[in-house]
Every structure is written in structure tokens, then in C-alpha cells.
Structure 1
Amino acid sequence: MKHTPLYIGLILLLFSACKVEQEKVPLAQVGTKILYLEEVEEVLPGSLSPEDSTIWMDDFIQKWVQRELMVLNAEENLSASQKDVSRELEDYRNSLITYRYKKALMEQKMDTLITDQEIENYYESHKKEFILKNDIVKAVYLKTPIELSNPEILKELSMDNDPQKLLELDEYGIRYAKSYDRFGDKWIDANRILTQIPLEIDNLERFLRRNKFIESDDTEYYYFICIRDFRFKGEYAPVDFVKSSIKNILLNQRKIDFLKKIETDVYQEGLESSKFKLYTIKK
């Protein structure tokens, strides 16, 4: 079959276009190792401006060159035995796949439910470990414009545990207050809230024992704090204050026990299925 010059030219043109399209753009070279533009573009953060992209790429290229120079020097100056890392790679691989296997087993089979009773039992057995380092309170805080303040309503609603009354308090705070927080009815550091009001308290413990309500004002705002409960530095922490910490402790202990059981079970299964042998060394 004869090919016309035009036909051959079209084939060459297409071949050249494909070659240009596939040709990589080199940015740096160390020894025989080449860094290409495409490699850098793959890791280039997309949120950068053109100017920042240039700075980022220059820094990336410089670090790449420095790293590859160190590798090149190591290759040239270390002995063959010093460059043999096959043992280390095998150990790392074994550690990695073992970790992933144990992690998969924990996700599939380990019971992660920690009951309130377990938390309570641990708390009672380790109570001396949970001593407060700061004063803590359960409180309600509001900062309202003076003309919109209603202390009597606030006192009535904030001390009540009735869900409906607390809902009314939320509605009041959202509607009238400049700042309002019930802190999720959780314990908080006392200083976190007391620093929000223009009032100096000399003896916090004595003050809190004598006052359920803390009130203050300035030229614009009325400040109101209702202390619903309190504990002082040096006392035992309430169990609900340390509940999350205890849960983590129990979960970590459960993980340790679970991993130990995995190793024991794997050994026992290997023994029963003759997956390993132990040789006696003759002396």
C-alpha cells in the first residue's frame, strides 16, 4: 500500500502533538533525579494567589534540591552495608500492617460503650485523683441594656429547674440580652464568667456561699449572674465534671486489654493450627 506525502505528514503531525503533550517540564535536577513541574502542581495548594504560588514553588524546589543532595551524598559516601535498609523497611512494614490489623479489629469487635454506672464506679474508686485545681460553677449569665433589665423575672426563671421556665429564660436572653449563656448547664471555671462583670470580689468562696445572684451595672448595661451550683479548688470534682476524662481512661484501658487479648488469641490460634514451630537448640 502506498502512502501519499500528505497522509504521512498528518501521521507525523499527530505523533509530534502527542509527544509534546506528554513531554514533562523539568524544574530541577540532582544527579539523575529530576523534579518535574507536574509533580509540584499536584501538591500545590489551590487557594494561593499567583504571587504566593510562585513563592511556595520556589521554596518547594529549594527544599527538594537540599533533600536530594543529602540523599546523593549519602549514596556516594556510605558503604553498601550502610545503605542496606531492607531490614528496617521490613520492620516498618510489619509494624504498619500489624497496627492497621489491630485497628480494624478494634473498630469491628471492641465494645466502646461506657455506661454511667462504670463511670460512677471508677469515680468512687479513684476519687482522690479528681481534686479541683480551680473554682467551678454552674451559672447563668446575662448582660442586658439597663432599660430592658428585669431582675425579678431573671431571678425567678434562672433558679428554676423546670424545663418550661428554662425555655422562657432562653427566650428572654435571646430577645433582650446583649450577651446570654447557660453554658449548656455544665460546670465551668468560675473566672470565665466572673470576669464578665464590672465587680471586684475579694473572697470568692465566702461570696458564693452568701450570694446566689451577682448583680452589677454601668452606664449602659445591667449584669446578672445566677450561681446554680459551685465547687471550690481543693474539693473533689463533681462526677459530671470529670465524666469525659473518666470515659477516656476506661476506653484506653479497654483498648489495652483488647489488644492483649488479640495477641493471646492469635498465639493460641497459631498453636492449634500449627502455624509455627519452636525448635530446640542442642547444646
Structure 2
Amino acid sequence: MGSIKGFSILTFACILLIGCDLLKRGDDKGKPVARVNERVLYEKDLPIAAVTGLPKDDSARVVKRFIESWVKEQVLVMQAEENLLESMDEIEERINSYRNSLIVYEYERAVLQNKLDTAISSDEVVSYYRENQSNFMLQEPAFRFYYIGLESTSHEPYRVIRALRSLDPVKIEELKAYGLGHGAIIYFEDENWVSLSNLNQAVGIKLDPNKLLKGDPLKIITENGVNHYLYVLEIKEQGEFAPVSLVEGEIRAKIINDRKFDLINTMRNDLFKEALNKRNAEIY
């Protein structure tokens, strides 16, 4: 029965396509199984492949349901056509417009899949950033930092503080190993920029940006039995230019979108010129 229930979705998806197609075929159509005025459904038009493998009784019920659904749909369509006679020209225009849009969309999608260059070098990212830097202003502060969160009773605070204040790469690596051995949450983002909202999400607490921007770069917050150690290495405030590394993903997406636009625009113009040159199209 699960197969029958799933098939009903396919039923309604096929009905309109079949109904529109039947009127366009030749005389050799085979055995008819249903008719609504001049519209005829033939045995060869039934989606037999969809019921292959079903028990005979289930298969018969599915086919019957399809036929009944087709008849109901055609009756409804014909009734609608009769009552919307004055609007049929507009409806036909909308159908043709939708058809053309769908064909163009699928063709352009195929062109993009086959011809779009998606490789973007770091130099291209930097060049795009420099040319459009005013579009990449920080909407919130961004930071480079060391963060380690440890349960208050599971570590030696002075050891963590000493290592963070040293900024010594060797001691920082030792601190990382120490933290991992004590179940710490660690984010050492000394090379990457992180926005305030992502920083809050990463450490699991809401940090006050005003306190982060001022005073001692080492912030220690105890909350819910956890000591949060945050050493701020560098800050970019809201309204400053965003670091290129922070917006690299956005830049790559913009470059790809620009390439898509250029590729499709070039393709359209080339087709237009070719049609005029070959006299397949004329403008009077």
C-alpha cells in the first residue's frame, strides 16, 4: 500500500503533461482506455513502468486510479476553459512565457556547468578586495585571539595565564597540549579573523564588546563552573575595513557571480550577432 500511496504523487504530476500531449499525436495511438470529449487517453500512455513489480491486484488499482484521475483532471480543465474563454489568450501567453523561461533557464544552467571557470586564485581575491574595499566594512568588531575554556576545578589558572601572556609560540603549543589533556575547549585563532557574533557562538558565552575593546588584552570570565580565558591579539572595530581573510568567502562568491553574469551575457550577445549575420533573424 505504501507503493500505491507514493504513486498518487506521480499520478497528478503526469496527468497534465499527458493531457496536453495526446492531442498532438498521430492516428496510430492504440487501444483507448478513457475519453473526455475529443481528448482520449490510450493504453500506451499509461505509466506502466511505475507499477512494474507490484502484485496484480495492486497494479490494477493503481492503473484505475490513474485513469480516473486523468478523467477528473480533463473534465475540470475543459470546464475551466469554457468559463475562462475570454482569458484563454492571456493564459496561453503566460504558458508560453513560462515555457520559454524554463527552456532558457535550463540551457543557461547547462552552459554554466560546462563553461564556467570556478578556479579563483588568492591574487584574484586580494585584487577584488582592493578594488571594492569600501563594500567590505565591518558591521561588528572582529578579533584575532587565543581562547581556552577549562572547568574551574580541573586546572592550574596561573599556568594558563602565564602561557597566554607570554605569547611564546612554544608555550602556546604547550598550553594547547595541557588543555587537551584536561578536556578544554580551545580556539587559537591567531592567524584568522573572527567576528564578534561567531566568537560568542564559539565560546558559548555572550561577550561585552566594550570590555573586549578596552583594557587588559587578557579577559578571564568564570561562568557555570568554567573559566573562560580570552587573550585578544588584535581588534578591528565596527566601521573599519574588514580584513580580507574574514570576507574571503564572500569575495569568492561575488567573483563567481560576476563570471556567471559575464558568461551568460556574452553567450546571449554572440547568439544574437550570429543570428543576424546568418540572416536567421531580422529587425525591420
TM-score by length of 1: 0.62
Verify the 8 A CA contact 1:137 1:228 in the aligned structure 2: yes
Deviation digits for residues 189-243 of structure 1, max 9, x if unmatched?
Answer: 3355469588985843652xx3221123368432211212211112111111111
Is 1:232 equivalent to 2:237 in the alignment? yes
The verdict on how the C-alpha distance between 1:221 and 1:23 changes in structure 2, with shifts beyond 3 A counting, is closer
Is 1:276 equivalent to 2:280 in the alignment? yes
The verdict on how the C-alpha distance between 1:19 and 1:184 changes in structure 2, with shifts beyond 3 A counting, is farther
Separation in structure 2 between the aligned mates of residue 27 and residue 76 of structure 1, nearest angstrom: 26
Report sequence identity in percent: 23
Letter in 2 for 1:276: N
Separation in structure 1 between the aligned mates of residue 101 and residue 181 of structure 2, nearest angstrom: 58
Matches within 5 A, 1:182-197: 182=188, 186-190=192-196, 193=199
Deviation digits for residues 123-158 of structure 1, max 9, x if unmatched?
Answer: 222222222121121223222123332445435655
Verify the 8 A CA contact 1:139 1:183 in the aligned structure 2: yes
Q: Paired residue for 2:20?
A: none
How far residue 259 of structure 1 moved from its aligned partner, in angstroms, is: 0.9
**CA RMSD between the two structures:** 4.0
Q: What are structure 2's unaligned runs of at least 5 residues?
A: 1-54
Deviation digits for residues 67-86 of structure 1, max 9, x if unmatched?
Answer: x9986763452117627844
Q: Which moved more, 1:255-264 or 1:111-120?
A: 111-120
Separation in structure 2 between the aligned mates of residue 170 and residue 109 of structure 1, nearest angstrom: 46
Is 1:138 equivalent to 2:139 in the alignment? no
Aligned length: 226
Q: Paired residue for 1:45?
A: none
Is 1:266 equivalent to 2:280 in the alignment? no
Is 1:149 equivalent to 2:155 in the alignment? yes
Matches within 5 A, 1:111-190: 111-151=117-157, 153-155=159-161, 160=167, 162=169, 168-182=174-188, 186-190=192-196
Separation in structure 2 between the aligned mates of residue 236 and residue 187 of structure 1, nearest angstrom: 12
How far residue 112 of structure 1 moved from its aligned partner, in angstroms, is: 1.7
Q: Paired residue for 1:59?
A: none
Secondary structure of 1:33's aligned partner: helix
Matches within 5 A, 1:1-283: 20-24=57-61, 32-33=71-72, 74-79=80-85, 82=88, 85-151=91-157, 153-155=159-161, 160=167, 162=169, 168-182=174-188, 186-190=192-196, 193=199, 203-204=210-211, 206-207=213-214, 210-217=215-222, 220-272=225-277, 274=278, 276-278=280-282, 280=284
Q: Paired residue for 2:23?
A: none
How far residue 180 of structure 1 moved from its aligned partner, in angstroms, is: 3.0
Verify the 8 A CA contact 2:146 2:190 in the aligned structure 1: no
How far residue 166 of structure 1 moved from its aligned partner, in angstroms, is: 5.9
* Higher CA-based Rg: 1
Q: Paired residue for 1:55?
A: none
Secondary structure of 2:153's aligned partner: helix
Q: Which moved more, 1:18-27 or 1:244-253?
A: 18-27
TM-score by length of 2: 0.62
